[in-house]
C-alpha cells in the first residue's frame, strides 16, 4: 500500500519542485542573456552612432573618437592595422556588425553604408576585464532581484500552505475529539474559511446526529424488549420450578415436560444472548472450559431431538480446556448440535475435537447434492486447512467460490445460526460451514491467542 502524506508535505514538496525549475530556468536564461545582451546593446549604439555621423559629417570629417574604446574611420585605407587584418581574414558585409574575440580585447566592427563614396567604419573595443566587470555589475543586480523574488515566493508559498492546511488539520483534530465527546463540540472556526471544509464539517455533524438518534432508538427498543422478554420468561421459569417442587408431573407427561423445560432454557439463553450482543457488553466471565465435558452435556441436553435412526459420535482423544466464556460457548455448541439433530433424518453425526489451536467440527448427513462453502467469520492468526481460506481483512465476510459451487448465505437453520455467527465475530473465532455431496459440516476454530491446554 502506498504511504500516505500530509497536506503540508504535499504542498511544500510540489512548491519546492516549482521553485527549483524556476531557478534552473533563471540560470539558463541568465547565461544566455549574458552572451546576448551586451552584443545587442553594442550593436544598437553602433548603428545609432553611424546614422548620426553620416547625417552630420561629410567625409573626411569625423567627431572626436576615443582610441581603444570608440573609433570612427572613413574608408578601409584609414583603418588600424589590426582591424585591416581582421577584415582580410574574416568574411564581412556592410551594415552588419562583425564581432571578433581576441585574447586581450573584444572588437565590434560595423561597416556602414552612409550614401557617400567612402564606407563609414564604427569600431568599439572592450578589454576582456572591462567586459567581465560590466557583466558582473549587471548580473549581480539581476541575481539580487531574483533571490529577492525567490524569497518572496517561498514566503508566499508557506503562507498559502498554512492557509490551506490549517482548516484540514483543525478538522482532523475536531473529528478525533468527536470520537470521545458529544457531537455538540463546535467545529473549528477555520473550517468556515472555505466552502468545501465548511460542507465537510456540516455533513459530519449531521451524520453524527443521525447516528446518535439511531443509537437512542435502538437503546430504547432494547430496554423495552428486555423488559417484555424477561417478564414472561421469569413467570414460566417460576411456574416450572414450582411444578417440579410439587412433583405434579406424571411419568407419562415427563417426556413432554422435559421438552418444555429445555425449550424454556433455550429461550432464556437466546434472549439473554441477543440482548448482550446488541448492547456490545464486554465478556467478563472468561474461564477455562473443558470442551469435551461441555459437548457431552450439550448432547445430553438435546438428546430428546435425536431420532431412533440417528447416532451421535463424539471423537476426542483427550480432554481439552480453553479460556473462553462458558455461556457463549455453550450457546454456540447448543445451537449447532440442536441443528444437527433436528435436520438429520438418519445416519451418524460426528463431532470432533482437536487441539493446537482448538477446533470443533460437527458433521451430519444431508440430502443436498450441490457443494457449497462459505466462511461466516475468520480471525487473524488462523491457518486452516478447510477449503475456505481466511482473508487479510478478518472483520469482513468472505465467500469463496469454486467451479460448480453455489454461493449462498441463508439462515435456513433458524436464528441460532445467525447468533452463532455474531458470537464468533464478537469473540474472534473462525466459523465456516461446508456442504458437500450428502454431508453438511461446521467448523469452529479458536484464535491462536486462545491456547488449548490439557
Q: How confident is the model at residue 404, as a pLDDT? A: 34
Mean pLDDT, range 409-425, rounded to an integer: 66
* Separation of alpha carbons 202 and 205, rounded Å: 5
Mean pLDDT calculated for residue range 191-210 = 82
Q: What is the pLDDT of residue 302?
A: 83
Beta-sheet pairing, 70-74 with 120-127:
antiparallel
The confidence band for 180, taking pLDDT boundaries of 50, 70 and 90, is low
What confidence score (pLDDT) does residue 391 get? 34
**Rounded (10°) CA dihedral 139, 142, 144, 147:** -120
Tell me what the pLDDT averaged over the chain comes to: 76
CATH of 285-445, one of 3.90.1310.10, 1.10.10.60, 3.30.565.10, 3.20.20.140: 3.30.565.10
Task: For residue 247, say if its preceding peptide bond is cis, omega within 30 degrees of 0.
Answer: no
Of residues 197 and 374, the one with the higher pLDDT is 197
Structure confidence at residue 207 (pLDDT) = 85
Give the pLDDT confidence score for residue 136 in this predicted structure. Answer: 61
Following CA atoms 349, 353, 359, 364 in sequence, which dihedral angle do they give, to the nearest 10 degrees? 0
Position 351 confidence tier, pLDDT thresholds 50, 70, 90: very high
Euclidean distance between CA atoms 86 and 92, whole angstroms: 10
Q: Where are the domains of the chain?
A: 7-151, 195-262, 285-445
Higher pLDDT pick, 266 / 76: 76
Share of the chain above pLDDT 90, in %: 7
pLDDT tops 60 at residue 259: yes
Looking at the DSSP bridge assignments, the partners of residue 74 are 120
Higher pLDDT, 318 or 362: 362
Q: pLDDT, tens digit, for every residue of 381-406? A: 333 333 333 333 333 333 333 333 33
For residue 105, what pLDDT is reported?
83
**pLDDT exceeds cutoff 50 at 373:** no
427: left (phi over 0), alpha (psi -120 to 50) or beta: alpha
Quick one: pLDDT at residue 137? 67
Write down the pLDDT at residue 350: 93
Whether the predicted pLDDT of 132 surpasses 70: no
* pLDDT, average across residues 126-133: 63
pLDDT recorded at residue 32 = 60
Is-contact 131 42, C-beta < 8 A?
no
Q: How many CB atoms lie within 10 A of CB 124?
A: 20
With a cut of 60, say whether residue 353 has pLDDT above it. Answer: yes
Decide: 171 and 188 in contact? Cβ < 8 Å.
Answer: yes
User: 349: pLDDT confidence band, cut at 50, 70 and 90?
Assistant: very high
pLDDT of residue 34: 56
pTM of the model: 0.47
pLDDT at 262 over 80: no
Q: What is the mean pLDDT of residues 122-132?
A: 73
Q: Tell me what the mean pLDDT of segment 66-95 comes to.
A: 84
Which is more confidently placed, 221 or 390? 221
Supply the pLDDT for residue 453. Answer: 54
Q: Cβ neighbours of residue 283 under 8 Å, at least 6 residues apart?
A: 325, 328, 426, 427
Residue, of 439 and 4, whose pLDDT is higher = 439
Q: Give pLDDT, residue 260.
A: 85
Q: Looking at the predicted structure, is the pLDDT value of residue 98 above 70?
A: yes
Q: Which residues contact 124 (CB under 8 A, 6 or more apart)?
A: 42, 45, 46, 69, 70, 71, 107, 108
pLDDT score of 106 = 84
Amino acid at each position: 500500500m502506498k504511504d500516505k502524506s500530509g497536506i503540508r508535505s504535499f504542498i511544500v514538496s510540489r512548491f519546492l519542485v516549482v521553485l527549483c525549475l524556476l531557478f534552473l530556468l533563471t540560470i539558463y536564461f541568465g547565461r544566455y542573456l549574458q552572451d546576448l545582451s551586451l552584443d545587442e546593446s553594442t550593436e544598437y549604439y553602433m548603428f545609432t552612432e553611424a546614422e548620426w555621423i553620416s547625417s552630420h559629417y561629410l567625409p573626411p570629417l569625423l567627431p572626436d573618437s576615443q582610441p581603444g574604446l570608440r573609433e570612427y574611420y572613413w574608408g578601409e585605407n584609414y583603418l588600424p592595422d589590426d582591424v585591416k587584418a581582421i577584415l582580410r581574414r574574416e568574411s564581412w558585409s556592410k551594415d552588419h556588425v562583425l564581432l571578433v574575440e581576441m585574447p586581450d580585447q573584444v572588437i565590434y566592427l560595423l561597416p556602414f553604408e552612409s550614401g557617400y563614396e567612402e564606407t563609414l567604419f564604427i569600431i568599439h573595443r572592450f578589454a576582456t576585464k572591462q567586459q567581465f566587470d560590466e557583466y558582473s555589475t549587471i548580473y549581480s543586480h539581476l541575481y539580487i532581484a531574483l533571490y529577492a523574488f525567490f524569497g518572496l515566493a517561498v514566503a508566499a508559498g508557506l503562507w498559502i500552505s498554512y492557509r490551506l492546511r490549517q482548516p484540514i488539520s483543525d478538522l482532523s483534530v475536531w473529528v478525533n475529539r468527536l470520537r470521545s465527546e458529544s457531537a455538540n463540540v463546535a467545529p473549528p472556526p477555520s473550517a468556515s474559511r472555505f466552502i468545501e471544509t465548511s460542507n465537510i464539517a456540516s455533513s459530519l455533524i449531521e451524520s453524527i446526529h443521525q447516528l446518535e438518534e439511531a443509537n437512542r432508538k435502538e437503546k430504547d427498543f432494547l430496554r423495552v424488549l428486555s423488559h417484555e422478554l424477561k417478564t414472561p420468561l421469569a413467570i414460566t421459569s417460576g411456574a416450572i420450578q414450582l411444578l417440579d417442587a410439587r412433583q405434579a408431573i406424571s411419568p407419562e407427561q415427563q417426556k413432554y415436560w422435559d421438552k418444555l423445560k429445555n425449550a424454556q432454557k433455550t429461550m432464556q439463553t437466546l434472549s439473554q444472548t441477543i440482548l448482550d450482543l446488541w448492547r456490545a457488553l464486554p465478556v467478563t466471565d472468561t474461564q477455562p472450559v473443558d470442551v469435551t465435558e461441555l459437548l457431552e452435556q450439550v448432547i445430553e441436553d438435546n438428546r430428546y431431538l435425536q431420532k431412533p435412526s440417528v447416532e451421535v459420535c463424539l471423537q476426542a482423544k483427550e480432554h481439552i480446556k480453553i479460556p473462553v466464556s462458558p455461556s457463549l460457548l455453550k450457546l454456540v455448541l447448543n445451537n449447532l448440535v440442536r441443528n444437527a439433530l433436528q435436520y438429520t433424518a438418519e445416519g451418524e453425526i460426528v463431532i470432533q475435537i482437536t487441539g493446537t489451536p482448538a477446533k470443533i467440527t460437527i458433521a451430519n448427513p444431508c440430502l443436498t447434492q450441490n457443494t457449497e462453502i462459505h466462511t461466516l467469520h475468520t480471525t487473524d492468526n488462523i491457518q486452516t486447512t478447510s477449503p475456505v481460506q481466511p482473508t487479510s481483512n478478518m472483520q469482513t465476510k468472505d465467500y469463496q467460490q469454486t467451479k460448480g459451487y453455489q454461493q449462498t448465505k441463508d439462515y435456513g437453520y433458524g436464528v441460532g445460526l445467525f447468533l452463532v455467527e455474531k458470537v464468533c465475530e464478537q469473540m474472534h473465532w473462525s466459523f465456516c460451514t461446508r456442504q458437500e455431496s450428502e454431508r453438511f459440516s461446521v467448523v469452529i476454530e479458536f484464535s491462536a491467542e486462545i491456547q488449548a491446554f490439557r
